[in-house]
Structure 1
């Protein structure tokens, strides 16, 4: 005849509760990452922005985080009417020459896109190390 054994699941239950608490911290960590990456794009775009009066450089902004499903997003933008002309280029007033664009935001976004996987990997690894250390 088989004997029934006893098993103490108290530590497993404690760990499950610990993981439930970490969900809030995980969302906060994701939002910090998104904000930091947006700030990095902003900083790089500002450095690349040519300065005449300084208005164009001062007009860069980062939106607050928006979330749609599992997609988090921030928008880096410049609302000055001539920002797009400086970014992508334009014809001169007499329409004879082309002034090349500076691609301040385009280049900055591509650079940060290349850095993103390494940054996220490091932050997620640190977060998981903290999650697995519990009392």
Structure 2
């Protein structure tokens, strides 16, 4: 007497899990890009814009327009993406600075520091959502 077990369902499930494993890098890249976009949005929103009188020839918003996201690069430990601002005075506005005469201190706005802390609290939620979406699409 032979007894047989139909394992075709298990084989199909194994193949689906294998396809998910092949896509895991793409899932994390998408999650990482969303994290960077959220951080960028919050940092831009918190960045002050200069207010100059008409006819001064100056236009505000240089610092806000200076925010950018780098391309995602693969490293030994995983992936790297940066939210950055290359405007030369960005660090002074972020962390604060002394006045020219060194008599007073101008407080920083902590645009990036605040953005980073807000997004850090949501990282697990974002990654989990991307993983759940991948499982739904199996």
Q: TM-score, normalised by structure 1?
A: 0.84
- Residues 83-130 of structure 1: CA deviation (Å, up to 9, x unaligned): 011101111111111111110000000000012222223332333344
Question: Unmatched 5+ residue regions in structure 1?
Answer: none
Question: Unmatched 5+ residue regions in structure 2?
Answer: 51-59
State the partner residue of 1:25. 23
- Residues 42-67 of structure 1: CA deviation (Å, up to 9, x unaligned): 01000110111211100101111123
4+ aligned runs moved over 4 Å, structure 1: none
Structure 1 range deviating more: 82-91 or 22-31: 22-31
Q: TM-score, normalised by structure 2?
A: 0.82
Q: C-alpha root-mean-square deviation of aligned residues, in Å?
A: 1.8
Structure 1 range deviating more: 92-101 or 16-25: 16-25
Equivalenced residues, count: 129
Within a 5 Å distance, the mapping from 1:82-121 to structure 2 comes to: 82-121=89-128
